[in-house]
Every structure is written in C-alpha cells, then in structure tokens.
Amino acid sequence: MFVPGDRADRIGKALASGADTVVVDLEDAVDPARKQRARELVVETLAAVTSAERPSTVVRINASGTEWADGDLAAVRQLAGVLDGVLVPKVEEPEDVAAVPDELPVAAIVEGASGVFAAREIAAHPRVNAILFGSFDLAAELGVTPSADGRELLHARSQTVLACAAAGIPGPIDGPHPSIDDLDGLARGAAAARELGFTGKVVLHPKQIDTVRAAFAPTQAELDRAREVLAAYRAGDGTGALRLPDGTFVDRPVVVRAAGLLGLDAAEVLS
C-alpha cells in the first residue's frame, strides 16, 4: 500500500492496515514544496517504529536525475537499518538503481516504453529483487486510456512478466486501480494481472487490501487440483507423463506448478 510521505498520521495508519508491504512515498504523492519536510517526517516516523510493529516497509524516492534524488538518498541512508528496501521510479536502464545504498534492497518501477524494452536487463541487475509495473505513466506516454483489465497494455505487461521470470525474481507487482470505491473493477484488474503472471497489486486505501489478496490467493478448486496432481505423481513411478482420472495428462511442469500452489518445494517433490 502506498502512503504520502508528508502525512505522519497516514503513515501510522498504513503500517497498521494489514498490507503486506507499505510504500512511503516521497515522489508523486508529495508536493515539491514539501519534499524536505516529507523526508524529515519519514525518518522521524519510521525510526520510531520497531520491525515487530510494522509490515515490510519501503520508501519510494524521486527518480535519478531529479533535483530531489540526492536528498532522498541521504534520508534513506539514515534508515538503512530500518527499511526493507527502496523503490526507484521511472527506471529506464539498470544504472538508474546504482545510487541506492548497497545495504538496501531495490525494487524498480518500469513505467515507460524505454523501461519496458530494458526490463530484462533491469530485472537481472544484482541489486534489483522486485519490479513494479507503472501502468498510468506508460498509458500516458502511449496516449491510451488505462482500463481495469489492462488490455491496452497487454504486450508491455507480458514482456515485464517474462523479464522477471528470465531474471529469476518473482513476477511483477501491478500498478494501482485508481477508484477506491470501485471494488468490482479492482477485482477484475487484479484477476487479469494474476492470469498474466503478476504476483501482487498496489493499493491506495486499506479497503482495497482484501479484494487484492483474494484475487491473488489460490482458489479452492486450484488447491484441490494441485493435491490431485501431486497424489497422482507420488502414486506413479516418477517418470514421463501421468494420466488423471478425468483423462488429463500431467507432466513435470504441471507438478512443479502444483507444488508451488501448495507452498511446497518443487525440487523436494520431484526428488
């Protein structure tokens, strides 16, 4: 969940919201005139909260090359023992993440055409452990209207998913659904993102959390099928394809997927 860095009260509420990760924003959510005050508030607020009292916490800094980047980097250095990572926006090449202090993990936002084309190299950078897909900036650059299911950005979304897979990092996190009260649209968008291989979605308000979490959780039918697949695999001789009672053939990639859905180590299942 994203929260403005110049609102200490909202930061506290976000940390208590139940979100998996809270992103304290120093970039788009903060007016230029309040950037310095936002940095001070972020340092004061986060330094006073122990890791046991908060979820994973990340700060989004301003993009490399902006007039605010150096000040943001100085602020996150003060929080090096507190933060779980730094989110770098508008990443167009791997070098855009190089200035983040070495002790802090990096998540990169791919939100422009150049960034999408460089997504494989960005995801493969040794400092990067996660990618966010910036749908609104990319849609504005392309001159298209973003929709709930993201069909207008399908190629870019799929390319970003492939980049993460090739780099061996988790699938990307999708951008937010802007209408806080439109939970139906949020659910459609989250479901579409999951189908493409995304592993989560940005939220802007606590009321969106449960809808996103439900969309990315395995369904009961998926879990039941995964158990059926593993049972058939364990009952077989461990070689070649297996045939389920309904006639479906199952091979090793299907077993790997089933293990993942059940939270099991695929290598152990296959050994």
Tokens of 110: 């791919």
pLDDT value, residue 51: 80
Phi, psi of 75 (to 5 degrees): -65, -45
Q: Please say if the pLDDT value at position 271 is more than 80.
A: no
- Is the model more confident about 252 or about 189? 189
- The pTM of this model reads 0.89
CATH topology of domain 2-216: TIM Barrel (3.20.20)
pLDDT value, residue 267: 82
What Cα–Cα distance (Å) separates residue 112 from each residue in 28, 152, 251?
15, 14, 38
| 240-269 average pLDDT score | 84
| 103-112 average pLDDT score | 96
pLDDT, tens digit, 9 for 90 and up, residues 64-105: 899 999 999 999 999 998 999 999 999 999 999 999 999 999
Phi, psi of 19 (to 5 degrees): -65, 150
pLDDT value, residue 243: 80
**Mean pLDDT comparison of 140-144, 231-235, 267-271, highest-scoring range:** 140-144
DSSP assigned state of 205? S
pLDDT value, residue 185: 96
pLDDT value, residue 240: 65
Tokens of 153: 């950005």
DSSP per-residue codes, 37-106: HHHHHHHHHHHTS-GGGS-EEEEEPPPTTSTTHHHHHHHHHHTTTT-SEEEE-S--SGGGGTTS-TTS-E
Q: Please say if the pLDDT value at position 264 is more than 80.
A: yes
User: Is-contact 87 132, C-beta < 8 A?
Assistant: yes
Q: Which of 59-63, 71-75, 140-144, 234-238 has the lowest mean pLDDT?
A: 234-238
pLDDT, tens digit, 9 for 90 and up, residues 135-186: 999 999 999 999 998 999 999 999 999 999 999 999 999 999 999 999 999 9
pLDDT value, residue 238: 58
Q: Please say if the pLDDT value at position 237 is more than 80.
A: no
- Each domain of the chain, given as residue ranges in start order, spans 2-216, 220-270
Per the prediction, the chain carries an average pLDDT of 93
202 pLDDT band (50/70/90 cuts)? very high
